Amino acid sequence: MTSALFVVSEEGYWAEECIEPLTTLESEGVDVTVATPSGSPPVVDERSLDPEAAGGEERVAELREVDEGHPELNHPEPIATVEADGYDAVVLPGGHGTVWDVNQDRHARQLLLDAVAGDDGVALVVCHAVGILGFTREADGTPLVEGRSVTGFPNAWEEDIVDEDDVLPDGRKLPYWVEDEVVLAGADWDAELDADTSVTVDGDLITARGPGSSADAAATLLDEL
C-alpha cells in the first residue's frame, strides 16, 4: 500500500493545507501517518477556520470535523520516532506555526532530506512550511534547495499580515520571512503571483504557494506517486 507521512505543526497548522491533501490521498487509498515535533496533537490555526478564509460555513464544518475526529491527527507520532524510508511521500503542510517548530526541527529537516534522496521518495512542502528549505542542508553543508525551483508563501502576502515590527495579529513576532530565507539558501523562487495557484515540481521536491494551491498540490503529489 502506498503511504504518506504528514509532519504537522503543534504551533498552528493551516487547515486547508493539511486536510485537503490528507483527505485526497486517503480517498485514493494512500495510508496516512501523522507526526508532530513532540507527538502531541497538532493545533489548527483558528484563522484558517474563518468562513471567509476557508470558503464558507459548510467547508469550515468539514475541516473542523477532520481536525477534531481524524484518528491520525489526534494520535500522532513524535517526529524523532519515524523515518522517511518507511513512506512513499513526506508532506509538510503550512501555517505560520511551522516557523516556530517544524521548520526548526532537525528531525523534520532530516525527514525532508531523506524523502528527496535517491529515486524512491517524494516530498510535498506547502506555504510557510517551505521555510524549512532555508535551514535544510546536505551532509557537506550544501543547502538542499540550492539551484532548485520552488514556490511558497511570498513576501508580498506576508507584508499584508504582519505589522511594521513583524508581529502577527495574534501577538507573536514572526522570526523570519519564508521567501527571504529560501532565496538566501540559493533557491530559484517564483510564487507566480499572477496565477490563481502555484505548485512547482523539481525532481522529488514539490512545493505549493498557499491554501488556494492545496488541491492542486494534492493532485500533483498523487501524479508523482
How many CB atoms sit inside 10 A of residue 209's CB? 29
The pLDDT, as a whole number, for residue 44 is: 97
CATH number of the domain where residue 172 is located: 3.40.50.880
Q: Which amino acid is at 78?
A: P
Confidence class for position 211, pLDDT limits 50, 70, 90: very high
Residue-wise pLDDT for 169-192, tens only, equals: 999 999 999 999 999 999 999 999
**Which domain range does residue 102 map to?**
3-224
Confidence class for position 119, pLDDT limits 50, 70, 90: confident
Proportion of the chain in helix, strand, coil states, percent, rounded to 5:
40, 20, 40
Phi-psi region of 113 (alpha: psi -120 to 50; beta: other; left: phi over 0): alpha
Rounded CA-CA distance 56/65 in Å is: 14
Rounded CA-CA distance 203/73 in Å is: 28
Nearest to 214 by CA among 8, 82, 24: 24
Nearest to 171 by CA among 161, 181, 179: 161
CB contact at 8 A, 82 and 38: no
The pLDDT, as a whole number, for residue 120 is: 83
Number of domains in the chain: 1
Confidence class for position 118, pLDDT limits 50, 70, 90: confident
